[in-house]
Amino acid sequence: MAEAKTGESFIQHEFDEAIVVQRAIVEAERILADAHPLPAAQQAIGKLMKTDEKSLQQLTQLGERFGATGKAEEVAGALQELSNTVNETAEEAPSEAYEAHAVLLNMVRKQQDSAGAMIKIAQEMGDREVKDAATEMQKASKAGAEELSTLLAQLAVQIATGKEPAGASR
């Protein structure tokens, strides 16, 4: 049974999880920026990767204050493993890229939710730096998730119909 985490150990845990998931996001983006069958998705994912690399650096720096190193625990470790598994075959077929894209979208949404919790925790602690960083991460995650969701739907249309969806740009 897992040890209950409270106070600083909970905050450390949250940062550890966020760091692991953010690393997995950046790695997935690195792969999909080249392997994705939709040129518009390649371009969008490449832009998201730049923002997400900065978020990873910031999470790592802020997490150090709480002893976080990016230790993979249950949830984050499972997401990282799933992402690694689906990314291995992302280049093989559009349906495989679809799976990798869907996992990436889920990880981004997890970060959005985690950022919301960190905002509230930082607010309660009076930690302006963490609150501001978490707010920026939440905004970036929300925007990224919306864009990834739209692109995932476009890829689904292409896979299902064999043609590029209306409005998709090359």
pTM above 0.85, yes or no: yes
Which burial class, exposed, middle or buried, applies to 36 when counting CB atoms under 10 A from its CB (0-12, 13-18, 19+)?
buried
Please check whether the domain covering 10-159 is classified as CATH 1.10.260.30: no
Q: What are 51-100's pLDDT values in tens digits?
A: 999 999 999 999 999 999 999 888 999 999 999 999 999 999 999 999 99
In three-state secondary structure terms, 73 is coil
Q: What are 112-159's pLDDT values in tens digits?
A: 999 999 999 999 999 999 999 999 999 999 999 999 999 999 999 999
Q: What is the pLDDT of residue 3?
A: 62
Helix count and strand count (H, E) for the chain: 5, 0
The domain spans of the chain are: 10-159
Within 10 angstroms of residue 150's Cβ, the number of other Cβ atoms is: 14
